[in-house]
Structure 1
C-alpha cells in the first residue's frame, strides 16, 4: 500500500474524533478555485494569539485490538486497515508544512498490539519531527489509556496539547459498549497530565529554560447519543472534569451510526446535532458565565429544551430574578441576562461608571435587545412600548434560524402561521417539529 492510500484511509478514519477545534465548513473545492475544507485530513484550530491554523488530522493506524461497539475502527468491523511508520508520518507532516498546507499536526491512533507499543510509535513520530526535522509547529496528540506513565510524560514534553477521550459518560455505558476499556485507565492519564502540567509550571518559575509539558493543556471528548445518559448526567460529568483535571475543553460528539449493533441507535438514525449544540452552549455557560450544572438542569428536568438555549431557559424559569436595572446590577447578574454576553457585560460595567445608560447605549454596545429587553430596565423603566407576557417572552427566546437549519420541515410547516398576526405558540412549534401538523 502506497503512502497516498494510507493517508486516504487514516485521514478519513480520524474524522470522528472531534477533540480539536474545527471550522465546521463544508465548502468543497471547485474547478478554477483553490483550497477545500471538506475532505478529511485537514482540521482547523486556534493559536494562543487567536490565529486560525490548519492541522493535519490523522491516525497513526486504524488497526485496533479493541472492539468498542460504537467505533468504525473496532476489531470486528470489516474495513480497510493501514498503519504509518513513524518515519512515513513525520516526512508526510513536514512535507505538507513545507508546502504551506498545514501549520501543525493532530495525531490519534487505534490500539495496535497494546497501548505501550502504540504510544511508542506515536512518540517516535514526535521525536523525529521535533529533534530531526526541528519542527516547532503546533502538535496535539492523544494519550493512550493504559500506556506506561513514562511514555505519557515523554509525549507531553514534545506535544503542545494532549487529550484523553473519555468517550462515554458513565461506567455502565463504557462496560456495555467498550468492554476492553475501563474508567480507571482513562482517568489515570488525565490525572497524570494535570499533575505534570502543574509541575512544569512550578519548574518554569525557578528555571526559565525548563522543559514545558503540554503548554496548551489537555482536553477530552464525549459521545452524545450512543448511550442513554441524560444531559444532566453529561453536564455534571463535564463540570467535574473541569474542576478535577483543569481541562481546557470538553468536546461533545453527536453519535453518528457507522456500525450496526443492537445496543446502538439504528443506522438510519439522525445524529442528535441539536442536543450536541445545547451541550456546547451549556459548556460555555459553565466556563465563562459562572453557572453551575445544577442551575441549568436537575433530576426533574434532566434534558435541555430543544427550542431554547440553556441561558434563556434558565431565565424563563427564574422570573423572580428579573427585571434587573442595567445601571446597578452586579456584573455576575448581567451575565445571566439573555442577549448580554461577556464582552457586552464588561462594556456595560465600564460605561456606567461615567454615565447613566439607556437602551440606545446598550444597542451600540452590542447587546441583543430583542432578547434582553424582557429582562432589564434602564433608569427604572422598561423599553418603550414593550408588553411583557409569558408567551411573548417565550417567542422572543426561540431561535427559529437554528431550528430551520436542523429541521428542514420546520420552516415549511411554520408557513401555516404566516398569515396570522401572532407568531406560533410553544405548543404549535413543538407540533411542527414532531410532525403533528
Structure 2
C-alpha cells in the first residue's frame, strides 16, 4: 500500500468527514491555489458553534475511512471501492496543532469508520484527544464521535477530554435503521449509547451531546424523526439534533434512490427550533395524513392557522409563552415586549418594530390595544386558496407572509 503524506490523507479523510453534520454551513474555498496564512483549507475545515454561541472553525476529519459497517447510504461503507487511508493518533494530533498554530482552525471534530473493532477504534480516537490535552496542552474545543456499541469506560473517557460528544441515530427507530444497516443494533448500541452519555453528563456538566439523522434514506416520515428527537431531548438530555437530507452516493445500495429535498431538511430544523427554543410540544406540530410536515408552510405558521381559537391574541396581555406562538415573534422580541409592557401599553403597529417583531408576519395574528390591523383572513382550518407563505426564518431571498383577503 502506498504511503501517503499527512496532507494527502487529510484530503481523503477530510472529504469523508463532510457527511457528519455539526453545523448548518461549511467553509467554502473561493479560489484554488496554495494555502496561505488565514486561508481556508480545501477539505477538513468547517464552521460550528460552541455552547456559548461562538462561531469557530473546526478541523473536521475522520481518523480512518476503513469501516466494517454496511450502512447503505454511506460512502465509506464496507466493500465500496474508494481510496482508503488512516491517521496514527500522534500524526493527526500533530497535524491539527500545525493548523491551529497557523490560525486555520480553532477546534477539532473527530469521527471515524470502525476498523478491527469498536473498542479498538474508540481507543485510537481517545489517544488523539489525550495527546492534544496532555502533550500539547490544547485547551480549546474538541468534539468527539461516540461509535455505536462503545464501552461505558470509553464514553466516560471521551467526555473527560471533549467539549461535545455525538452519537448518530441515523434513523428514528429499529425498523428504520434495519433498512439502512444490518450491522448496527438500534437498542443495544444506539439507545444504550445515548443512555451512557446521559449518565456521564452528570459527572461532566460542561459537556454536551448531539446526534444526526439521515433524512429520507429509511423511508421514515417527519413525524417519526421529530417524535424520536423529542424523546432524546426529554429522556437523554440531548443538546442538539442535526438533520442531513439524504443524497445518493455512487457505489452504495441506495445509489438509485432519489435525493431528499433540502426544503424537507429545512422544515425539520424549523420544527426543532420550535421544540428547543419556543416552548412548543411535539403535539403542537402539524403533520399531513402521511406524517410529514407541510413543505409549503413553515411549522409555526401551520400551527397558527390550525388554531383559530387562539388567534388573534392581544399583544398587551398575552403571556411570554403565548407570544412565542405568534408568527414573526421570537424569544428575544417576546421577552422585550413583556418587559416594555410593565411600563407602557402598545397602541400602534409601528411601536412593535423596536421590539423586533416582524409586522408582515405577525399582524394577522394579533390585536394591538383591542384593534386588529392585519388582513381579514379566515382563522380556520387552512385552505390553500386563502393564503400562501414560504418562510418564517428566511433571509432576503425568501418571500414574506402574504395573505389573501377573506372574511372572518
Shared fold by TM > 0.5? yes
TM-score, reference length from structure 1: 0.83
Distance (whole Å) between structure 1 residues aligned to residue 236 and residue 335 of structure 2 = 29
1:217 Cα deviation from its structure 2 partner: 0.7
Q: Deviations over 1:103-129 (max 9, x none)?
A: 110000000110000011111111111
1:39 Cα deviation from its structure 2 partner: 3.1
Residue 181 of structure 1 pairs with residue 170 of structure 2: no
* Residue 11 (structure 1) aligned to one of 14, 17, 21: 14
1:380 Cα deviation from its structure 2 partner: 0.4
Contact 1:344 1:365 in 2 (8 A): yes
3-state DSSP of counterpart to 1:297: coil
* Greater CA drift, 43-52 or 115-124: 43-52
Q: Name the residue aligned to 1:364.
A: 354
Higher helix share: 1
1:261 Cα deviation from its structure 2 partner: 5.2
1:349 Cα deviation from its structure 2 partner: 0.4
Residue 303 of structure 1 pairs with residue 295 of structure 2: no
Contact 1:29 1:35 in 2 (8 A): no
Q: 1:139 to 1:78 in 2, by over 3 A?
A: same
1:241 Cα deviation from its structure 2 partner: 0.5
Q: Name the residue aligned to 1:190.
A: 194
Q: 1:125 to 1:401 in 2, by over 3 A?
A: closer
Q: Name the residue aligned to 1:124.
A: 127
Q: 1:271 to 1:405 in 2, by over 3 A?
A: farther
Distance (whole Å) between structure 2 residues aligned to residue 302 and residue 232 of structure 1 = 5
Contact 1:347 1:365 in 2 (8 A): yes
3-state DSSP of counterpart to 1:107: strand
Contact 1:22 1:43 in 2 (8 A): no
Q: 1:404 to 1:303 in 2, by over 3 A?
A: farther
3-state DSSP of counterpart to 1:373: helix
Q: 1:194 to 1:322 in 2, by over 3 A?
A: same
Q: Name the residue aligned to 2:305.
A: 316
Q: 1:175 to 1:79 in 2, by over 3 A?
A: same
1:300 Cα deviation from its structure 2 partner: 3.5
Distance (whole Å) between structure 2 residues aligned to residue 274 and residue 241 of structure 1 = 23
1:405 Cα deviation from its structure 2 partner: 7.1
Distance (whole Å) between structure 1 residues aligned to residue 146 and residue 190 of structure 2 = 9
Q: Deviations over 1:222-247 (max 9, x none)?
A: 10010111111111001001001111
TM-score, reference length from structure 2: 0.89
Contact 1:325 1:378 in 2 (8 A): yes
* Residue 397 (structure 1) aligned to one of 378, 389, 404: 389
Residue 256 of structure 1 pairs with residue 259 of structure 2: no
Q: 1:106 to 1:265 in 2, by over 3 A?
A: same
Q: 1:193 to 1:401 in 2, by over 3 A?
A: closer
Q: Name the residue aligned to 1:340.
A: 329
Residue 373 of structure 1 pairs with residue 363 of structure 2: yes
Distance (whole Å) between structure 1 residues aligned to residue 395 and residue 221 of structure 2 = 21
Contact 1:28 1:36 in 2 (8 A): no
Q: 1:403 to 1:251 in 2, by over 3 A?
A: same
Q: Name the residue aligned to 1:433.
A: none
Distance (whole Å) between structure 2 residues aligned to residue 196 and residue 364 of structure 1 = 44
Q: Deviations over 1:396-430 (max 9, x none)?
A: 63339969979xxxx9xxxxxxxxxxx898xxxxx
What is the RMSD computed on CA atoms of the aligned residues? 2.7
Q: Deviations over 1:97-151 (max 9, x none)?
A: 1111111100000001100000111111111111011111100000112222112
1:292 Cα deviation from its structure 2 partner: 1.4
